[in-house]
């Protein structure tokens, strides 16, 4: 086999990124957009020692799960990878990814992986989008990047995004028109993020970029806020410095009876329907009686912390971002939860200190970024013999690595519940429950 060669092969699997996997002359071949059960013709694009990559050219016999992608940008936009696969098959694929990775990377042979919690309506679910501004000569174009590139793959003025909330699609269209109209004033604008608080309808627009002429961006803000309901507009400049251009600089959402203030850079789950199911699962595993002392590590603006606090005696949140910690404290106060506190710092430093200094905690919740939990934090759980741990993860590979470590150190992984937070993409969220 060599680059440029045409090959015909059967697709037997999908890899973690949703690409078709087959074999040719004994070598594994990855083919984006090919599906298991298909026989395809493909052209080899890359050869490595242990695998090859190829471009799909013709589907000789299609999979029963293949559907026509509704979005005209599918394939050229980096947002969705699975729009060609029907939703039931997507859910099945995600369950398999989790099972395989727990076995392969975590060496966990006896873990029960529950059937993934899918969405009843898996469309227009996202409450946030980051749109890039690409300058085609002097003309700015607003859209989503193509896969692994800095070229616009989906222009938001031409067609809506099928996984983005309808209100944000409408806002994005108006914004794209205004950006084109005011092109000469917007030098330096690189990206625009839109966020919706789905329960309250409040919206935030975040303009990103560096310019010597920010004052000129004001025209855009004036016209935008006159044309569509926008709650606040913020500019984020170099080193994450925020400047409020309109409104208060934050929006407020509510989830299961709790309200959360969010600012331009706060982490907040992007799928409100599934977030509620995810957090309820955490609460179910926590099975709190009201007497427990709990730590919520990687707590963001205090979302899971406050869910837990309604049922626990004490909850301490740990978070590295000072802005998120400040919002978490505001959120605790505005929900009237006074037995909650937050510590600013890295979980790998704060968690060992808290566990050594503050006596026994009944439960630790972990919800790290994609890199997973640092070794020092995991070791501190083992040392302190924390009886129960709940691990929320957006990356099955690091989840498997960390569960593998904890299970070798005396924890038993009772159950793993995948939750489909990101339909039509290869991403999968999980909640794992562990006991000593
Ligand atoms: C996946 S988010 C979870 C936030 C929150 N639990 C939620 O559901 O909204 C991960 C959070 O961890 C924070 N973070 C990243 N690295 C950290 C570290 N080393 N120690 C503590 N927090 C960290 C990020 O700022 C982010 O708020």
Which residue's CA is minimally distant from atom 19 of ligand 1?
346
Residue 71 lies in a domain: no
Atom of ligand 1 nearest to the CA of 347: 20
Q: Is residue 72 part of a domain?
A: no
Which residues have a catalytic role annotated? 394
Q: Which of 298, 306, 354 to mutate to test the pocket of ligand 1 (most atoms within 8 A of CB)?
A: 298
The residue range of the domain holding 32 is 6-66
Reading the chain (436 residues) residue by residue, the pLDDT tens digits are: 899 999 999 999 999 899 999 999 999 999 999 999 999 999 999 999 999 999 999 999 999 999 999 999 999 999 999 999 999 999 999 999 999 999 999 999 989 999 999 999 999 999 999 999 998 877 889 999 999 888 999 999 999 999 999 999 999 999 999 999 988 888 888 999 999 999 999 999 999 987 766 777 888 999 999 999 999 999 998 777 889 999 999 999 999 999 999 999 999 999 999 999 999 999 999 999 999 999 999 999 999 999 999 999 999 999 999 999 999 999 999 999 999 999 999 999 999 999 999 989 999 999 999 999 999 999 999 999 999 999 999 999 999 999 999 999 999 999 999 999 999 999 999 999 999 9
Among 226, 253, 280, the domain boundary falls at: 253
367 carries a ligand binding annotation: yes
CA 368–ligand 1 middle distance (angstroms): 5
Per DSSP (E only), the strands in 237-372 are 242-246, 250-255, 258-263, 293-297, 314-319, 340-344, 363-366
Report residues whose beta carbon is within 6 angstroms of any ligand 1 atom: 267-269, 298-300, 303-304, 318-321, 324, 346-348, 367-369
Q: What is the CATH number of the domain that holds 37?
A: 2.40.50.140
How many whole angstroms from 300 Cα to the centroid of ligand 1? 5
Provide the Cα torsion 322, 328, 330, 331; round to 10°: 160
CA distance 122 to 125: 7
For the stretch 200-225, what's the b/e string if a residue is b when 16 or more beta carbons lie within 10 angstroms of its beta carbon? eebbbbbbbbebeebeebeebbebbb
For ligand 1, the distance from its centroid to the CA atom of residue 205, given in whole angstroms, is: 22
Q: Is residue 258 part of a domain?
A: no
405 and 327 within one domain: yes
What whole-number distance in Å separates Cα of residue 252 and Cα of residue 266?
12
Residue 263 located in a structural domain: no
Q: Is residue 380 part of a domain?
A: yes
Verify that 107 and 135 share a domain, yes or no: no
How many domains, the chain?
3
Flag whether 214 is in a domain.
Answer: yes
Q: Atom 13 in ligand 1: which residue has the minimum CA distance?
A: 298
Q: Which CATH number do you get for residue 318?
A: 3.40.50.150
Residue 188 belongs to some domain of the structure: yes
């Amino acid at each position: 086999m060599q680059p440029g060669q045409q090959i015909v092969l059967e697709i037997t699997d999908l890899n973690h990124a949703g690409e078709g996997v087959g074999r040719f002359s004994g070598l594994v071949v990855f083919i984006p957009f090919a599906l298991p059960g298909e026989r395809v013709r493909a052209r080899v694009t890359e050869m490595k020692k242990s695998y090859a990559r190829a471009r799909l050219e013709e589907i000789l016999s299609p999979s029963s799960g293949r559907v026509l992608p509704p979005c005209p940008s599918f394939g050229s936009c980096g947002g969705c990878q699975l729009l060609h696969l029907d939703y039931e098959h997507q859910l099945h694929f995600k369950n398999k990814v989790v099972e395989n990775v727990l076995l392969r990377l975590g060496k966990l042979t006896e873990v029960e992986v529950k059937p993934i919690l899918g969405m009843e309506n898996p469309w227009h679910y996202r409450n946030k989008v980051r749109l890039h501004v690409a300058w085609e000569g002097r003309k700015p174009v607003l859209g989503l990047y193509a896969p692994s590139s800095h070229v616009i793959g989906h222009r938001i003025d031409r067609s809506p995004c099928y996984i983005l909330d309808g209100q944000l699609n409408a806002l994005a269209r108006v914004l794209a028109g205004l950006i084109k109209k005011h092109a000469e004033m917007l030098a330096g604008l690189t990206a625009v993020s839109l966020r919706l608080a789905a329960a309250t309808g409040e919206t935030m627009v975040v303009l990103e970029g560096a310019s010597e002429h920010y004052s000129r961006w004001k025209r855009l803000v004036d016209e935008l806020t006159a044309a569509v309901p926008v709650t606040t507009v913020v500019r984020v400049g170099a080193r994450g410095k925020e400047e409020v251009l309109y409104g208060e600089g934050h929006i407020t959402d509510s989830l299961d009876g709790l309200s959360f203030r969010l600012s331009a850079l706060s982490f907040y789950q992007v799928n409100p329907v599934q977030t509620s199911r995810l957090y309820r699962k955490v609460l179910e595993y926590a099975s709190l009686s009201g007497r427990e002392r709990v730590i919520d590590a990687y707590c963001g603006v205090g979302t899971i912390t406050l869910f837990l606090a309604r049922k626990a005696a004490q909850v301490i949140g740990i978070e590295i971002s000072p802005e998120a910690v400040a919002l978490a404290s505001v959120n605790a106060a505005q929900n009237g939860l006074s037995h909650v506190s937050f510590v600013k710092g890295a979980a790998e430093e704060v968690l060992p200190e808290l566990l050594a200094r503050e006596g026994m905690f009944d439960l630790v919740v972990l919800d790290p970024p994609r890199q997973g939990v640092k070794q020092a934090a995991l070791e501190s759980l083992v040392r302190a013999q924390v009886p129960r741990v709940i691990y929320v993860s957006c990356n099955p590979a690091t989840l498997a690595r960390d569960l593998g470590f904890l299970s070798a150190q005396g924890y038993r992984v009772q159950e793993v519940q995948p939750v489909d937070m990101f339909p039509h993409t290869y991403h999968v969220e999980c909640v794992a429950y562990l006991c000593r």
